[in-house]
Protein backbone atom coordinates (compact mmCIF):
# COMPACT_ATOMS: atom_id res chain seq x y z
CA UNK A 1 0.00 0.00 0.00
CA UNK A 2 1.35 3.40 -0.93
CA UNK A 3 1.53 6.22 1.56
CA UNK A 4 1.85 9.92 1.22
CA UNK A 5 -0.41 12.84 0.36
CA UNK A 6 -2.07 11.16 -2.64
CA UNK A 7 -2.94 8.04 -0.64
CA UNK A 8 -4.25 10.15 2.24
CA UNK A 9 -6.42 12.15 -0.16
CA UNK A 10 -7.79 8.93 -1.66
CA UNK A 11 -8.64 7.65 1.82
CA UNK A 12 -10.48 10.89 2.64
CA UNK A 13 -12.49 10.63 -0.60
CA UNK A 14 -13.44 7.03 0.16
CA UNK A 15 -14.47 7.97 3.70
CA UNK A 16 -16.49 10.87 2.32
CA UNK A 17 -18.29 8.56 -0.12
CA UNK A 18 -19.16 6.07 2.62
CA UNK A 19 -20.37 8.81 4.96
CA UNK A 20 -22.49 10.25 2.15
CA UNK A 21 -23.99 6.82 1.41
CA UNK A 22 -24.65 6.26 5.12
CA UNK A 23 -26.54 9.56 5.31
CA UNK A 24 -28.52 8.70 2.19
CA UNK A 25 -29.24 5.28 3.66
CA UNK A 26 -30.68 6.97 6.74
CA UNK A 27 -32.74 9.35 4.61
CA UNK A 28 -34.23 6.60 2.47
CA UNK A 29 -34.53 4.24 5.44
CA UNK A 30 -36.49 6.83 7.42
CA UNK A 31 -38.80 7.49 4.48
CA UNK A 32 -39.38 3.77 3.96
CA UNK A 33 -40.04 3.15 7.65
CA UNK A 34 -42.53 6.04 7.69
CA UNK A 35 -44.30 4.60 4.65
CA UNK A 36 -44.45 1.13 6.22
CA UNK A 37 -45.86 2.53 9.49
CA UNK A 38 -48.61 4.34 7.57
CA UNK A 39 -49.27 1.20 5.59
CA UNK A 40 -49.52 -1.01 8.67
CA UNK A 41 -52.03 1.36 10.27
CA UNK A 42 -54.30 1.42 7.22
CA UNK A 43 -57.29 -0.92 7.27
CA UNK A 44 -56.83 -1.74 3.59
CA UNK A 45 -53.69 -1.38 1.44
CA UNK A 46 -53.41 -0.04 -1.12
CA UNK A 47 -56.54 2.02 -0.60
CA UNK A 48 -59.48 1.09 -2.82
CA UNK A 49 -59.31 2.74 -6.22
CA UNK A 50 -55.53 3.12 -6.17
CA UNK A 51 -53.91 2.34 -9.50
CA UNK A 52 -51.20 -0.30 -9.74
CA UNK A 53 -47.61 0.82 -9.96
CA UNK A 54 -46.82 1.93 -13.49
CA UNK A 55 -45.15 -0.62 -15.73
CA UNK A 56 -42.41 1.93 -16.34
CA UNK A 57 -41.27 1.44 -12.73
CA UNK A 58 -40.58 -2.22 -13.51
CA UNK A 59 -38.69 -1.15 -16.63
CA UNK A 60 -36.67 1.18 -14.39
CA UNK A 61 -35.68 -1.82 -12.30
CA UNK A 62 -34.37 -3.69 -15.33
CA UNK A 63 -32.50 -0.59 -16.51
CA UNK A 64 -30.81 -0.20 -13.10
CA UNK A 65 -29.83 -3.88 -13.11
CA UNK A 66 -28.27 -3.46 -16.55
CA UNK A 67 -26.54 -0.28 -15.39
CA UNK A 68 -25.01 -2.11 -12.44
CA UNK A 69 -23.78 -4.91 -14.70
CA UNK A 70 -22.21 -2.40 -17.09
CA UNK A 71 -20.47 -0.64 -14.20
CA UNK A 72 -19.06 -3.96 -12.94
CA UNK A 73 -17.66 -4.54 -16.42
CA UNK A 74 -16.28 -0.98 -16.46
CA UNK A 75 -14.51 -1.60 -13.17
CA UNK A 76 -12.91 -4.73 -14.59
CA UNK A 77 -11.84 -2.83 -17.72
CA UNK A 78 -10.27 -0.13 -15.54
CA UNK A 79 -8.42 -2.73 -13.46
CA UNK A 80 -6.97 -4.20 -16.67
CA UNK A 81 -5.98 -0.86 -18.26
CA UNK A 82 -8.44 -1.38 -21.10
CA UNK A 83 -9.16 2.25 -22.01
CA UNK A 84 -11.36 1.78 -25.08
CA UNK A 85 -13.78 -0.69 -23.45
CA UNK A 86 -13.81 1.42 -20.28
CA UNK A 87 -14.80 4.52 -22.21
CA UNK A 88 -17.54 2.65 -24.07
CA UNK A 89 -18.86 1.02 -20.91
CA UNK A 90 -19.01 4.29 -18.99
CA UNK A 91 -20.77 5.93 -21.95
CA UNK A 92 -23.25 3.04 -22.02
CA UNK A 93 -23.78 3.44 -18.28
CA UNK A 94 -24.57 7.11 -18.85
CA UNK A 95 -27.12 6.15 -21.49
CA UNK A 96 -28.70 3.64 -19.11
CA UNK A 97 -28.82 6.28 -16.35
CA UNK A 98 -30.67 8.59 -18.74
CA UNK A 99 -32.94 5.66 -19.63
CA UNK A 100 -33.71 5.16 -15.95
CA UNK A 101 -34.61 8.82 -15.57
CA UNK A 102 -36.81 8.66 -18.68
CA UNK A 103 -38.61 5.54 -17.45
CA UNK A 104 -39.31 7.21 -14.11
CA UNK A 105 -40.78 10.24 -15.88
CA UNK A 106 -42.86 7.87 -18.02
CA UNK A 107 -44.14 6.23 -14.84
CA UNK A 108 -45.15 9.56 -13.37
CA UNK A 109 -46.85 10.49 -16.64
CA UNK A 110 -48.84 7.27 -16.44
CA UNK A 111 -49.85 8.04 -12.86
CA UNK A 112 -50.80 11.61 -13.75
CA UNK A 113 -52.74 10.36 -16.78
CA UNK A 114 -54.70 8.04 -14.49
CA UNK A 115 -55.39 11.04 -12.23
CA UNK A 116 -53.35 9.27 -9.55
CA UNK A 117 -52.01 12.39 -7.93
CA UNK A 118 -50.87 12.53 -4.32
CA UNK A 119 -53.62 14.78 -2.97
CA UNK A 120 -55.75 12.93 -0.43
CA UNK A 121 -53.97 9.56 -0.61
CA UNK A 122 -51.05 8.68 1.62
CA UNK A 123 -50.36 5.72 -0.64
CA UNK A 124 -50.01 7.88 -3.74
CA UNK A 125 -48.12 10.51 -1.77
CA UNK A 126 -45.64 7.81 -0.79
CA UNK A 127 -45.32 6.56 -4.37
CA UNK A 128 -44.62 10.05 -5.68
CA UNK A 129 -42.29 11.14 -2.87
CA UNK A 130 -40.22 7.96 -2.71
CA UNK A 131 -39.79 7.71 -6.47
CA UNK A 132 -39.06 11.43 -6.83
CA UNK A 133 -36.53 11.42 -3.98
CA UNK A 134 -34.77 8.50 -5.62
CA UNK A 135 -34.85 10.18 -9.01
CA UNK A 136 -33.22 13.32 -7.62
CA UNK A 137 -30.31 11.19 -6.45
CA UNK A 138 -30.14 9.45 -9.82
CA UNK A 139 -29.95 12.82 -11.59
CA UNK A 140 -27.24 13.83 -9.13
CA UNK A 141 -25.39 10.58 -9.85
CA UNK A 142 -25.46 11.27 -13.56
CA UNK A 143 -23.01 14.16 -13.13
CA UNK A 144 -20.10 12.10 -11.71
CA UNK A 145 -20.91 9.30 -14.17
CA UNK A 146 -20.50 11.68 -17.12
CA UNK A 147 -17.37 13.11 -15.51
CA UNK A 148 -15.89 9.60 -15.16
CA UNK A 149 -16.70 8.85 -18.81
CA UNK A 150 -14.97 12.05 -19.90
CA UNK A 151 -11.92 11.25 -17.78
CA UNK A 152 -11.82 7.74 -19.24
CA UNK A 153 -11.95 9.17 -22.75
CA UNK A 154 -8.89 11.28 -21.89
CA UNK A 155 -7.05 8.22 -20.58
CA UNK A 156 -7.04 9.38 -16.96
CA UNK A 157 -7.69 5.96 -15.42
CA UNK A 158 -5.10 3.22 -15.03
CA UNK A 159 -5.04 -0.18 -13.39
CA UNK A 160 -3.59 1.44 -10.27
CA UNK A 161 -5.64 4.66 -10.33
CA UNK A 162 -9.30 4.18 -11.16
CA UNK A 163 -10.91 5.40 -7.96
CA UNK A 164 -13.41 7.54 -9.89
CA UNK A 165 -14.79 4.52 -11.73
CA UNK A 166 -15.05 2.55 -8.48
CA UNK A 167 -16.76 5.39 -6.63
CA UNK A 168 -19.31 5.99 -9.38
CA UNK A 169 -20.06 2.26 -9.50
CA UNK A 170 -20.53 2.07 -5.72
CA UNK A 171 -22.93 5.01 -5.81
CA UNK A 172 -25.05 3.53 -8.61
CA UNK A 173 -25.08 0.07 -6.98
CA UNK A 174 -26.33 1.81 -3.84
CA UNK A 175 -29.09 3.52 -5.85
CA UNK A 176 -30.03 0.16 -7.33
CA UNK A 177 -30.40 -1.44 -3.90
CA UNK A 178 -32.42 1.54 -2.65
CA UNK A 179 -34.70 1.32 -5.69
CA UNK A 180 -35.31 -2.38 -5.01
CA UNK A 181 -36.24 -1.54 -1.40
CA UNK A 182 -38.58 1.25 -2.56
CA UNK A 183 -40.21 -1.00 -5.12
CA UNK A 184 -40.63 -3.81 -2.60
CA UNK A 185 -42.30 -1.50 -0.09
CA UNK A 186 -44.58 0.00 -2.73
CA UNK A 187 -45.49 -3.25 -4.45
CA UNK A 188 -46.01 -5.58 -1.51
CATH number of the domain enclosing 103 = 1.20.120.80
pLDDT value at residue 115: 77
Alpha-carbon dihedral 173, 59, 107, 53, rounded to 10 degrees? -100
Which portions of the chain are predicted below pLDDT 70? 1-3
How many domains does the structure of the chain reveal? Answer: 1
Domain with 14, as residue range(s), is: 5-187
Q: What are the distances in angstroms from CA 31 to CA 17, 104, 182?
A: 21, 19, 9
Q: Mind listing the pLDDT tens digit for each residue in 7-24?
A: 888 899 999 999 999 999
Length of the chain in residues, anyone? 188
Instruction: Please tell me the pTM assigned to this model.
Output: 0.92
Q: What is the pLDDT of residue 163?
A: 93
What pLDDT sits at residue 2? Answer: 55
pLDDT of residue 114: 83
- The alpha helices in 42-121, defined as continuous H runs, are 55-79, 83-113
157 contacts: CB under 8 Å, gap ≥ 6: 78, 83, 86, 151, 164, 165
Amino acid sequence: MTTGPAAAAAERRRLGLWLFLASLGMLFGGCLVGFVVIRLRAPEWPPPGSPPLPGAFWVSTAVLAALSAVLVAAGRAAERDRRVPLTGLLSAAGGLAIGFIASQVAGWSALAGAAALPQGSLYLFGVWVLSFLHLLHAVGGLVPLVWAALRARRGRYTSTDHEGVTSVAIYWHFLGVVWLAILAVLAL
